[in-house]
Amino acid sequence: MIGSIPSGNLRLSCGILFAGALASKGLRVFQFMNMRSISTDTFMKHQRHYLPPAVMEVWENLRGKYIDDALQNGRSLCIGGDGRCDTPGHSAKFGSYSVMDLDNGTMIDIQLVESNEVKSSCHMEKEGLARSVAYLQSQGINIYKIVTDRHVQIIKWVSENMTETQHYVDVWHVAKGLQKKMLALSKEKECGVIQNWIRSVTNHLYWTAASTPDGNGTKPLEKLITLLNSRQMKKDIPKLSTLQQTSELEGYHSVVNQFAPKMDGFSYNGMMCR
């Protein structure tokens, strides 16, 4: 017994949450095996009273230790930030904004924003960034560089509120958008050859960012040049992050998808823990 709770019952609830499983599906396994087990209501009771406080205590301790170490060593940080909504489309209830130290791959802050706290769900990412930056600055952390996606609201907010910080755009996000547009161009009449150029052009985009820290006028080439010289590309290319990228952060979000599937709803505490 743990207090008045059978140890196995509490451990089962812990196992379900810590494995990123859903109680309704996890407990159904025992039902089909004709084995007695706890109910979903019991899991919810354990989650309400015991599991979130334990998860949050561990998280706060680890985050506090990281910040203490950064301050003691006088480190200025290069951070990567990215947002994640709990559902596809524009009907998200929660938006989480995650910040990583890109020099060592450590998650250093997570802000969970509810859609009713902002004008609409599309504003949750900017609000999450603002809260993360405010938190880190309140702890005395200096941010010398930030790498994000090409979100228009994010770019504007950083330029207005982090004037002393270098802002770069993750190459993958720009390459992904360029790839889609080139693919669409390749489907136009007499422009099929563009599809053969996609890999080389996107690879060159990566090479340009990684290697630079500081043809024949055919119809498809002319269309491609128009795309490459577009206003959006001219704005994005100078801001490409030269070294640090948010790929590790994207990997972290793929892990979060296991714990918080986008098609399932959770309470605030349940979402924050997952």
Give the tens place of pLDDT for each residue, 224-268.
Answer: 889 989 999 999 999 999 888 889 998 999 999 989 988 888 899
pLDDT computed for residue 46 by the predictor: 95
68 and 195 belong to one structural domain:
no
Q: Can you tell me the mean pLDDT for 195-207? A: 92
Q: Is the pLDDT of residue 129 over 70?
A: yes
Counting residues of the chain whose pLDDT is more than 70, the rounded percentage is 97
Q: Quickly tell me which residue has 């900017």 as its tokens.
A: 126
Does pLDDT of 209 surpass 90?
no
Residues 6+ apart with CB under 8 A from 247: 170, 172
261, 139: one domain: yes
Residues 44 and 59 in one domain: no
- Measure the CA–CA gap between 228 and 100, rounded to whole angstroms: 31
pLDDT at 213 over 90: no
Q: Taking the alpha carbons of 44, 45, 50, 56 in that order, is the dihedral positive or negative?
A: positive
Please give the share of the chain, as a percent, with pLDDT higher than 90. 73
Q: Check the CA dihedral 184-188-194-196 and report its sign.
A: positive
Tell me if 129 sits within 8 A of 154, measured CB to CB. yes
264 in the same domain as 143: yes
Q: Based on the domain organization, do 85 and 196 belong to the same domain?
A: no
Does the reported pTM lie above 0.85?
no
Total domains in the chain come to 3
Closest CA to 42 of 34, 53, 55, 51: 51
How would residue 28 be classed by pLDDT, with cut points 50, 70 and 90?
Answer: very high
Whole-number pLDDT of residue 86: 81
Q: What is the DSSP letter of 1?
A: -
Tell me the residue range of the domain where 228 lies: 172-239
Q: CA 249 to CA 109: how far, in whole Å? A: 12
d(C-alpha 245, C-alpha 77), whole Å:
14
Q: pLDDT at position 181, please?
A: 95
For residues 7-14, give the mean pLDDT: 95
CATH label of the domain that carries residue 131: 3.30.420
Over 60: is that where the pLDDT of 66 sits? Answer: yes
Tokens 């524009």 sit on residue: 90
Confidence of residue 138 (pLDDT cuts 50, 70, 90): very high
